Chains A and B, each alone.
Chain A
Amino acid sequence: MATVSVCQYHRGGFSFENCKRNALLEADINKLGFSSPAARKTGTTICGVVYKDGVVLGADTRATEGMVVADKNCSKIHYISPNVYCCGAGTAADTEMTTQIISSNLELHSLSTGRLPRVATANRMLKQMLFRYQGYIGAALVLGGVDCTGPHLYSIYPHGSTDKLPYVTMGSGSLAAMAVFEDRYRPNMEEEEAKRLVRDAIAAGIFNDLGSGSNIDLCVITKGKVDYLRPHDVANKKGVREDKIYGRPVTGNYRYKHGTTGVLAKTVTPLNLEVVEENVQTMDTS
């Protein structure tokens, strides 16, 4: 039997050793009629809008695994730097890891330059990384922040293309949210109006798309201040279970009421028991 000996020091990063084996397994499983487990996605509605003083980012909070809701209250607005936040749609793990790596890189970069990082820097880092992996990292992002040059909003697609726009939506509910934006967006809005617009756009996604649901999270970024409102609005309230006694839920009561069954006759027979022997055994609690 031949053993494969490693001749060079092993490098880190993605390992493609199991790809062929996985392809074979997938083919076998499909032949039997089963399907391999689906990755957890955030079939999502995320959006962002630039207003007078800054940027408002919004996201819903549902994470799905195939046709099942995996997380009812997941957080899709990720921290990149104190003045830059990023919403992520697509494969949940990919968005999470990508934003964390870019956040670390941006922190090192800002320590090296000695300045507050710019949104364009984060955009370029993200786009170069996503292009390197040719779309296999399924992360569609909405990147927004305020830096020394003003408020900026970018949308980044999984293959590495980016758009710099005043209002963007991404995810499975993006069409519903974009419809709201196209109707009511105008340049240089006030903060309250911008928040209401984003809230309505996400609500449109929540109510009209199966992949989005639960609450609405907002993140308002202005020069020097970030408001992370989680949850900003609970659009889908979960119902309260019945039989709550003094505020604590009680499991269903299956006892029948007295008088449900009519009583025909009643006999009482006392059992005379006498104490024969009493034996006390102490427990060894040493």
Chain B
Amino acid sequence: MDYAAVDYFFIYFSVFITSQAFCLNILWNTRGLRSQLKDSVPVTGLCPQAGPYGVQDSLRRGFSSVKNELLPSHPLELSEKNFQLNQDKMNFNTLRNIQGLHAPLKLQMEYRAARQIQRLPFLPSSNLALDTLRGTDDTIGFEDILNDPVLSEVMGDPHIMTEYKLGVL
């Protein structure tokens, strides 16, 4: 057998293997959504929000207890808090795998722009542009029926909420 032919064969084979591995990698990304969802559920949502001195701000956030912070009070609490975020991430990932990197980048730029159209922090914003981009402007879910913030009896303190928004709290 000709040694040159064998060399070519090995090179072709190794290229073939790596390209297969690359394809498999992409497939893993589209199918391994469950692992991605687990990573993207931030447990920091429950941890004490450290104030300026690294300790929880009791005056504004109330007393802290280890049990409250370590475990969610309901198995669905974390998943519901981050549901929209996780849906967006999943959709962007799928879009990236189908249409390439530029498509989700462009869309995320539009989302960022739409998210900036807000009223003052303590007033309700319609988020119409954001809803239209997401496609949720013609869907109804539990967030529209239960605990509608428009019908709530108490209002957030305007000063505190504006200070929080500006980052000076």
Chain A proximity of B160: nearest CB distance (Å): 5
Of chain B, the residue at the smallest CB distance from A12 is: B143
Contact B76 A14, beta carbon cutoff 8 Å: yes
Chain A proximity of B34: nearest CB distance (Å): 12
Q: CA separation between A97 and B144, bound complex, in Å?
A: 13
Contact A5 B76, beta carbon cutoff 8 Å: no
Contact B138 A6, beta carbon cutoff 8 Å: no
Contacts of A2 in B (CB 8 A): 58-63
Q: Is A8 an interface residue (CB 8 A)?
A: yes
Contacts of B52 in A (CB 8 A): none
Contact B139 A105, beta carbon cutoff 8 Å: yes
Chain A proximity of B5: nearest CB distance (Å): 54
A2-B58, A101-B141 are contacts. A9–B74 as well, Cβ < 8 Å? no
Contacts of A133 in B (CB 8 A): 76
Contact A134 B76, beta carbon cutoff 8 Å: yes
Contact A6 B156, beta carbon cutoff 8 Å: yes
Interface segment, one of A15-23, A73-81, A153-161, A231-239: A15-23
Within 8 A of A (CB), among B24-56: none
Q: CA separation between A175 and B169, bound complex, in Å?
A: 61
Of chain B, the residue at the smallest CB distance from A17 is: B73
State the total of A-B contacts with C-beta under 8 angstroms: 99
Per-residue CB proximity of A152-184 to B under 8 Å, as 1/0?
000000000000000000000000000000000
Q: Is B152 an interface residue (CB 8 A)?
A: yes
Chain A proximity of B133: nearest CB distance (Å): 16
Contacts of A129 in B (CB 8 A): 141
Chain B proximity of A59: nearest CB distance (Å): 25
A7-B161, A101-B140, A108-B138 are contacts. A15–B147 as well, Cβ < 8 Å? yes
SS class, residues of chain A in contact with chain B: loop
A8-B164, A10-B156, A12-B147 are contacts. A134–B75 as well, Cβ < 8 Å? yes
Q: CA separation between A3 and B77, bound complex, in Å?
A: 23
Per-residue CB proximity of A80-98 to B under 8 Å, as 1/0?
0000000000000000010
Q: Is B100 an interface residue (CB 8 A)?
A: no
Contact B146 A12, beta carbon cutoff 8 Å: yes
A6-B161, A108-B138 are contacts. A12–B80 as well, Cβ < 8 Å? no
A7-B164, A19-B74, A133-B76 are contacts. A13–B140 as well, Cβ < 8 Å? no
Contact B148 A12, beta carbon cutoff 8 Å: yes
Q: CA separation between A17 and B68, bound complex, in Å?
A: 11
Contact A16 B140, beta carbon cutoff 8 Å: no
B: residues with CB less than 8 A from A are 58-63, 68, 72-77, 79-80, 83, 121-125, 138-149, 152, 156-157, 160-161, 164, 169
* Seed contacts A5-B160, A7-B164, A16-B73; 8 additional CB < 8 Å A-B pairs: A2-B62, A2-B63, A9-B156, A13-B142, A13-B146, A15-B147, A16-B74, A134-B75
Pairs of residues from A and B, 3 with the lowest C-beta to C-beta distance, nearest first: A13-B143, A19-B73, A4-B62
A: residues with CB less than 8 A from B are 2-17, 19-20, 23, 97, 101, 104-105, 108-109, 111-112, 129, 132-134, 136
A-B contact pairs, 30 of them (CB 8 A): A2-B59, A2-B60, A2-B61, A3-B62, A5-B60, A5-B157, A6-B156, A8-B161, A9-B121, A9-B122, A9-B123, A9-B125, A10-B152, A10-B156, A12-B146, A13-B146, A14-B147, A15-B147, A16-B72, A16-B77, A19-B73, A20-B73, A23-B73, A97-B145, A101-B140, A101-B145, A108-B140, A111-B138, A129-B141, A132-B83
